[in-house]
Amino acid sequence: MIRSENLRSGYIQDSVEEYLYKLLPERDAVVKEMEDYAEENRIPIIGPAVARLLSLLVQVSGAKRIFEMGSAIGYSTVWLARAAGTQGKVIYTDGDPEKAKRAEVYFRMAGVAKRIEVRVGDALALVKKTPGKFDLIFIDVDKQQYPAALHAALPKLQQGGLLITDNTLWSGKAARPAAENDKDTKCIQEFNRLVYASKELYAVLIPLRDGVTVCRKL
């Protein structure tokens, strides 16, 4: 039985999730330490199954300039930076200076610190004011910010670039009518509606873990 909150989807059968995670190769010591720290301190991370998908998408797209909106302790940042290679550049963003400090330690341990630029502050404001466009933008901010994050990110994504967003099924709640006071679910539902309705994006929602939406800018 999978017990970690970072691995449980909330809508996939436990036996299926157990099978999926048993298939995954062992992670290296740094990544495993990050997973253990996140579980012990109840810090949400994307987990290794989604991280492998994220890494694969970077590799097949050839993304080199990457912006991460909401990075926490830098778990997904490490996977992005490794996949992008030595010529890659990943911008880490988080509003918590303490999480950013811990992330920087992990980046050095993982040998990818030179590929990562750490910025502390509001991810939406930071992506807007960063010059140039990106090959890939990853959204994992507060859920009530999702529609606004989409509007902030889309102009900064180059044509053919990837917009990847985590938690888009939200433990399955996105598929059901949201309670009146459930702003998180309502905002995720609105985000999903917007990306599928957009004429600028080709969107696919993948029911992996907590839901991952992958969009290509047309």
Specify the CATH number for the domain of residue 18.
Answer: 3.40.50.150
- What pairing do the DSSP bridges indicate for beta strands 116-120 and 89-94? parallel
Q: Is 5 within the bounds of a domain?
A: no
Count how many domains the chain has: 1
Is residue 142 within 8 A of residue 167, CB to CB? The reply is no
Asked if residue 2 has pLDDT above 70, the reply is: no
Tell me: the pLDDT tens digits for 111-141?
999 999 999 999 999 999 999 999 999 999 9
pTM beyond 0.85: yes
Q: Is 6 within the bounds of a domain?
A: no
Q: Is 98 within the bounds of a domain?
A: yes
> Which structural domain, as residue segments, surrounds residue 43?
14-217
Joined together, the tokens standing for residue 54 give 């994220």
Q: Is 26 within the bounds of a domain?
A: yes
Q: Is 186 within the bounds of a domain?
A: yes
Q: Is 158 within the bounds of a domain?
A: yes
Q: What span, in angstroms and rounded, lies between the C-alpha atoms of 203 and 104?
A: 32
